[in-house]
Amino acid sequence: MIYQCSGCNRTTFETTCPWCNASQVPPSAELHPQQLTPLDPSFYPDFQYQSKGLIKDFLGKKKEQAQLNELLNNVLRKYAQLKQPYFTNFIHTTRETSSGGSDVGVPGPRLDGVYTERELFREVLIRKGFDELEGLPSLLDKLLQTTSFNSVYLGFSRELSRHIRDDLAETLRSWIEEAGTTFRSDLALFYFYLWENDISFPDVQFNPQAASIAGVPLMTLAAFQNALKFCESIYFDILVQRLGSQLEHFNPNRFITMYLVDAMDGFQFEAFLVEIFQTIGFDVKETKKTADQGADLFVTRFGKNMVIQAKNYTGSVGNAAVQQAISAKAFYGCDEAMVVTNSYYTKSAKDLAATAGVRLVDREGLQSYLDDYNQKLIEVFQAEVEEAG
């Protein structure tokens, strides 16, 4: 099975995150529900028998495993029935996937009369027959995380399907050219997609037991690390070829430099950001120039919506821009919020953004977007030359 780590957002076939655990002292060998989210809820540790010692295992393992299997089958059946529309719609309407450990353990009304949407959602499910949530209050949080992970994977699958070729190296190259450095965090998703869709390549071997046995990885860690090295070599080659192409086809009259960005006014900067995000593969929608509730434009990719606040400044960007992005995210119900500037941020703005989960793109970050944008211009120029020749 495949898991997503909530700590680093990477995907892995291991039951503990190889990247996060490498930095822990001592590393945790136990699968924590907040650490790794399986794509399939049948791989929750709640449904796997935990050894109680040789004698107790001998006396009660078979009976307890049968009880766990019955519980699992009931949960999976009800989850399959209620996943659409209840779980998915709850995530999309509230933008919630994680409780943060503050859920009330016992469902039902209380004297204080204050209820979170998650509590109300749990009651909706219980009244629909999902009574397991009364005995396993943490199960709701896990099912919501899995639903969210499923949503990410579906968006990833739609994108990846366009890159499948007859050869593994060609497939990886096509995907990495578009994905950029995200291949490092999504590589397990890539191989899971191949396995799930029965796409075979001579160099790829999967463990058939991984589909049914918890703890058995789809690929060995060594094989996965070798695949990561292979992808890194492909990415390195892409960068080298891009630089060579830039040196050969550079046309200053068609390129956008940071100095040109600095000369733009606010409206021109917003319009240019629309071009940038569209060019690098996002669906973009501008907001009206009045009453935009702190939003300058919206971008969408992999099924996730992000609101962007654009600040073309000569000085540092402070808390106000971050607060506007936070308000716009809540007002429009977006998954993420971002502030983009051609300048830099104050320390307080960075602290507020880190607390609120707002992505900040400063002058250096914007330069990387410009590099991608200019690279796309090169590719268009090359295509035009080839067509003319």
The CATH number fitting domain 258-388, selected from 1.10.8.350, 3.30.70.3000, 3.40.50.970, 3.40.1350.10: 3.40.1350.10
**pLDDT tens track for 230-270:** 999 999 999 898 788 767 766 656 678 888 888 888 888 88
Contact 15, 36 (CB under 8 A): yes
Q: Is 153 exposed, middle or buried (0-12, 13-18, 19+ CB in 10 A)?
A: buried
Q: Distance between CA 55 and CA 299 in Å, rounded?
A: 58
| The predicted structure's pLDDT at residue 32 | 42
| The predicted structure's pLDDT at residue 65 | 76
| The predicted structure's pLDDT at residue 361 | 93
| The predicted structure's pLDDT at residue 181 | 87
| The predicted structure's pLDDT at residue 260 | 85
Q: Which residues of the chain fall short of a pLDDT of 70?
A: 22-34, 49-50, 52, 55-60, 95-107, 246, 249-254, 286-295, 384-386, 388-389
361 strand-pairing partners: 340
Q: Distance between CA 201 and CA 78 in Å, rounded?
A: 37
To 5 degrees, how large is the angle CA 49–CA 53–CA 58?
A: 75
* pTM, to two decimals: 0.66
